Amino acid sequence: MTELKRVVFDLDGTLIPQVSGEITQVEVPDLRSGAKELLNKLKEENFDLVLWTTSPGSWVEKVFGRHPDLEPFFSQVITADNMGRYLDPLTVEAAKLKTDDPRRWCLETLGEYHGGGGKYPPAVGAKYLIDDVNAAASTAEIMGTFKHIFPNSKESDSSPDEWAKRVAQALLGK
C-alpha cells in the first residue's frame, strides 16, 4: 500500500495572486500559472491536499465558484471560520497571555488575524505547508514538526510557472 502524504496549501498569494480590498468587492483572479498542473501532479503521486486560508469561507466559495475544478483537489478546507481548532501551539500560548480561554480568544479574533502564523499542518496530519507568508516559516523552524515551502516567484524565474516546479521538486524530489 502506498503512503498517503498530506500537504497544506495556502490560497491567497499561493494558488491565486494576493488580492487587496474588501473581498466582497474584489474579482477572483486567475489561478497562478502552473497551479493546476502542480495539484494534478501531486494527486497522481498520492498526495492528500488540504486548503488552509486565513480568509473567510465566503471568499473560498467565491474562488471555487470562479474555479470549480479547484475544489475537488482538496480533501479538507480550513478557513478563518473554522481554523481555531487547528491553531499552532505557539499561537495558543501567545493567546494565554491575553485570556484564560486561548482557543476561544483565537476564534474570536480570527477575523482580524491574517498573519498566517496560526497554520499548524501537524494538526491535520500534514508534514508540509505551501505558503507565501514568512510567519509560517518561523513556526516551522521553532516547532520542527513540519516543513514550510515558499511558493514565491523569483526575479530569476525563466517562466511564470517556475514557482510550481520548485514546489514539485521540494515535495517529489524530481
Q: Are strands 147-149 and 5-9 parallel, antiparallel or unpaired?
A: unpaired
Q: What is the pLDDT of residue 111?
A: 38
Alpha carbon distance 161, 169 (integer Å): 13
Asked if 87 contacts 122 with a C-beta cutoff of 8 angstroms, the reply is no
Domains and CATH numbers, the chain: 5-172 (3.40.50.1000)
Q: Which neighbouring-strand residues pair with 77?
A: 51
Is the pLDDT confidence value at 3 over 70? no
Alpha carbon distance 68, 161 (integer Å): 21
Angle between helices 162-172 and 35-44 (to 10 degrees): 20
Q: How confident is the model over 11-24, as pLDDT tens digits?
A: 999 999 988 888 88
3-class DSSP assignment, residue 52: strand
Q: What is the pLDDT of residue 116?
A: 42
Q: What is the pTM of this model?
A: 0.81
Q: What is the pLDDT of residue 91?
A: 57
Alpha carbon distance 124, 100 (integer Å): 25
More confident site: 89 or 29: 29
Q: How confident is the model over 110-137, as pLDDT tens digits?
A: 433 333 456 778 888 888 999 988 766 6
Q: What is the pLDDT of residue 110?
A: 45
